[in-house]
Structure 1
């Protein structure tokens, strides 16, 4: 009888271990902006900063863009508008072909907002202090790190 109980217990334990080994991390790694304005990519590498004034800097501290009073994202080198950061956190960036894409920001949950693309995929986690600048900052830094031209209108 004890042998049967032991075998039954062992089978149950193996069943639990098998199910636990298939557990997946429900949080996909995405870029983020923390409460200090530090911007990290999906791998956790520091790629830049955003200040509460709307100034966007790369990891070396070089200013690459800023958000003006009207919410326009202005490239620091060319002075051209690369998009618009609305008060609600939605960021519209301009594509050379004239089409406009957008990133939307969710309501803060525990101080963190999710920035989502048009298909609903989370592309960035932003501290609520930087909600209005987050999507813009991430877009600018990703374009710079990929050595691509900023999308200007």
Structure 2
């Protein structure tokens, strides 16, 4: 009798401990990500590029499309024009054609993963903590390149 009660209690405890993790995962709205190797994956699961710990951003074929300079500016590899600013805390200020600016913020790592959020708090990207500083910048540049939009913004 005691063994049956002990098994039932252990089973309920396991269910209680694992339940919060299942609610945290949202499979209906996939989010782009950057893994521990710097591989950038879009929301559909397609490999679209790479980012290095030195701040070099490459497309999926390995061609350099942008980099982060010593002042934290994202610089287009082809034109040398500034695309935005990557701050040390991972916040990314980017410029748009109209001259206005917008920003993306990065959360502190949870289990090695940071969330990149827009000004409304919506998660736009999951990035490994190794690429926290450059992740938002890399995703922004690669997304524009893959949509065949001009990265020359300033």
Under a length normalisation based on structure 2, what TM-score does the superposition of the two structures give? 0.81
1:81 aligns with 2:104: no
The 8 Å contact of residues 93 and 151 in structure 1, kept in 2 or not, is answered as no
Alpha-carbon distance in structure 2 between the residues aligned to 1:64 and 1:107? 27
Q: Shift in Å at residue 152 of structure 1?
A: 1.3
Task: Name stretches of at least 5 consecutive residues in structure 2 with no aligned partner.
Answer: 1-21
CA RMSD of superposed structures (Å): 1.5
* Equivalent residue number for residue 26 of structure 1: 26
Deviation by residue 1:40-78 (Cα, 9 ceiling, x = unmatched) = 001111110001110000000000000001100000000
* Equivalent residue number for residue 51 of structure 1: 52
Alignment of 1:3-152 (within 5 A): 26-27=26-27, 28-150=29-151, 152=153
Alpha-carbon distance in structure 1 between the residues aligned to 2:152 and 2:108? 27
Task: Name stretches of at least 5 consecutive residues in structure 1 with no aligned partner.
Answer: 1-22
Alpha-carbon distance in structure 2 between the residues aligned to 1:80 and 1:56? 15
Which structure has the greater CA radius of gyration? Answer: 1
Q: Shift in Å at residue 26 of structure 1?
A: 2.6
Runs of 4+ in 1 over 3 A off after TM superposition: none
The 8 Å contact of residues 81 and 152 in structure 2, kept in 1 or not, is answered as no
SS in 2 for 1:36: coil
SS in 2 for 1:103: strand
SS in 2 for 1:52: coil
SS in 1 for 2:36: coil
The 8 Å contact of residues 113 and 127 in structure 2, kept in 1 or not, is answered as yes
SS in 1 for 2:148: coil
SS in 2 for 1:144: helix
